A and B are shown apart, each in its own frame.
Chain A
Amino acid sequence: MARARKAQERQTAHEQTHAPSAPLPRIESPIVPHQSIGGRALVAVVAIMTYLASLTTGAVMLVRANAAEWQTEILREVTIQIRPGPGRDLDAGVRAAVEIARSFDGISEVRPYTKEESARLLEPWLGSGLAVDDLPVPRVIVVKLASGGTLDVASLRKMLTDKVQGASLDDHRGWIDRMRAMADFVVLGGILVLALVIAATILSVSFATSGAMAANRPVIEVLHFIGARHRYIAGQFQRHFLWLGLKGGAIGGIAAILTFALIAPVEALIRGSAGAEQFAALFGSITMGFAGYVVVVLQVVLIAAVASEASRHTVNRVIASI
């Protein structure tokens, strides 16, 4: 009797299931719940930390690139100075120095500054309308080096000092050494700060992931008890947290890229002010460049991998504690 009733019930169920109007249920929920307060907090933490790390990286790369550019530019030229002295004909000295310089290999251009140009160089300090003839202003010749060529600086210096009175050659060595030391120091400091920021990012993302995982303990337990392999459980969480990490990382990374992109228009707005000019002279154009984008993407991937790995670690810890 009971068997007949059960058969009837099963039949009814079957009919209901296969009725044309009955919508069939489907698996739509992921094994790891997507929406959780912990998950949202993790995305926020990852976004903020990625933003800070990307800004630091961008700044370090910017300083490094500009330091290299300054050095290259300075290395590409040397300066000859003819100092005035009693009874010296500066114009003749300039002509002689130019001749000597042009006779050397590895030089692309020799350009003597005229009196007017020399006066213009002094304008910031001495004002305009300067009567250069009344002042013992040295004359300057800029010698541009040919790319790929090598100039025998020592021979040029010797010949100039021997043949032209009051002539001296400055290859900017002192400047370059000081600039290199300064740039190295700034880059080193930047790398140190970047290492600290990345370490802080890894720690905070690890803790935030563990926090977000706390709410998922029942999921891990149920999967474990119904016979899911540990790799399967860990895989579910790793994928989920990798996605959260990538989401947060993308938000932070894009925000950092936009910040760098916005610096140029802001710079244009304030252009003309003394600060802006100094800034432009020091840093040139503020752009991240291809390498910058690559580093930001690598950071996003690294931070997402940290979140994913931290979730795997938490899964293993929870399973071990069951």
Chain B
Amino acid sequence: MGQEILRDLTFRIEPQSFQFLTGPSGAGKTSLLKMLFLSLKPTRGLITLFGQDTSTLNGDGLAALRRRIGIVFQDFRLLDHMTTYENVTLPFRIMGREEDTYRREVIELLQWVGLGHRMWALPPVLSGGEKQRAAIARAVIAQPHLLLADEPTGNVDPSLGRRLLHLFMELNKSGTSIVIATHDIALMDQFDARRLVLHDGRLHLYD
């Protein structure tokens, strides 16, 4: 067995709650996020998501849970052969929804995150900040019950960072639980929210 990255973690993310997940580099923030979006299984312990023990679910059950979670990856993970618009529509596409039922919604969101003029652009020609916003738009478009964001403001200027934080706050008000993993103290200071601080593999909660 390899090195134990996280241990003795017990916490609960309440419905409609907002929290920052922070801690020094290498503290295990990304690993914890990966466990929350079911990409990593804990070697021991239990993860219950939306009332379901994740260890008992099959592939389809896990996929159904993932559809209730929005994820913003640190490295964006946009598909290079699709336009910004198409990347953002992906969560609807995999649900089998008709484009006419969500086109307006996607366009509005892209306008709102400042990508209205980049809807036809392919990710390789987007700047880091634009990619970041496209990744956030894709994560929030289907109004997930839980949003997990790994350094979502890492590539944008403070003004846009504030705007994105407002987007998360709006989403939170509409019922989504938010977990933002970040190093950005300034960002955390802008919003009085619960802080989950990882240090030496353990979690400290500051409500």
With known contacts A27-B89, A31-B93, A222-B77, A17–B59 Cβ distance under 8 A: no
With known contacts A13-B108, A17-B108, A226–B66 Cβ distance under 8 A: yes
Selected contact of B111 from candidates A13, A230, A231, CB within 8 Å:
A13
Q: Is B50 an interface residue (CB 8 A)?
A: no
Q: Is A289 an interface residue (CB 8 A)?
A: no
* A-contacting residues, B74-105, CB 8 Å: 77-83, 85-86, 89-91, 93-94, 99, 103-104
* B-contacting residues, A11-58, CB 8 Å: 12-14, 16-17, 24-29, 31, 33
Instruction: A13 to B115: give the CA distance in the assembly, Å.
Output: 10
Selected contact of B108 from candidates A10, A25, A27, CB within 8 Å:
A10
* Contact partners of A33 in chain B: CB under 8 A: 79, 81
- Contact present for A29 and B83 (CB under 8 Å): yes
* Contact partners of A298 in chain B: CB under 8 A: none
With known contacts A227-B63, A227-B64, A25–B120 Cβ distance under 8 A: yes
Instruction: A24 to B106: give the CA distance in the assembly, Å.
Output: 11
Q: Is A218 an interface residue (CB 8 A)?
A: yes
* Contact partners of A276 in chain B: CB under 8 A: none
Selected contact of B94 from candidates A9, A13, A228, CB within 8 Å:
A228
Selected contact of B116 from candidates A16, A26, A319, CB within 8 Å:
A16
At the interface, is chain B mostly helix, strand, loop or mixed? helix
Complex: chain B residue closest to A31, CB-CB: B93
Quick one: CB contact mask for A217-234 with B, threshold 8 Å, 1 for yes? 011011111111111100
- Contact present for B166 and A25 (CB under 8 Å): no
With known contacts A25-B119, A26-B99, A14–B83 Cβ distance under 8 A: no
Instruction: A229 to B94: give the CA distance in the assembly, Å.
Output: 8
Q: Is A266 an interface residue (CB 8 A)?
A: no
Q: Is B39 an interface residue (CB 8 A)?
A: yes
Q: Is B138 an interface residue (CB 8 A)?
A: yes
Selected contact of B59 from candidates A25, A223, A229, CB within 8 Å:
A229
Instruction: A222 to B108: give the CA distance in the assembly, Å.
Output: 23
Interface residues of A (CB under 8 A from B): 2, 6, 9-10, 12-14, 16-17, 24-29, 31, 33, 218-219, 221-232, 319, 322
**Given A14-B111, A25-B103, A27-B85, 6 new contacts (CB under 8 A):** A14-B108, A28-B83, A222-B78, A226-B94, A227-B68, A232-B94
Q: List 8 A-B contacts (CB under 8 A).
A: A6-B170, A13-B108, A24-B103, A25-B103, A26-B99, A223-B94, A227-B65, A228-B63
Closest 6 CB pairs of A and B: A13-B111, A227-B67, A227-B66, A33-B81, A25-B85, A228-B94
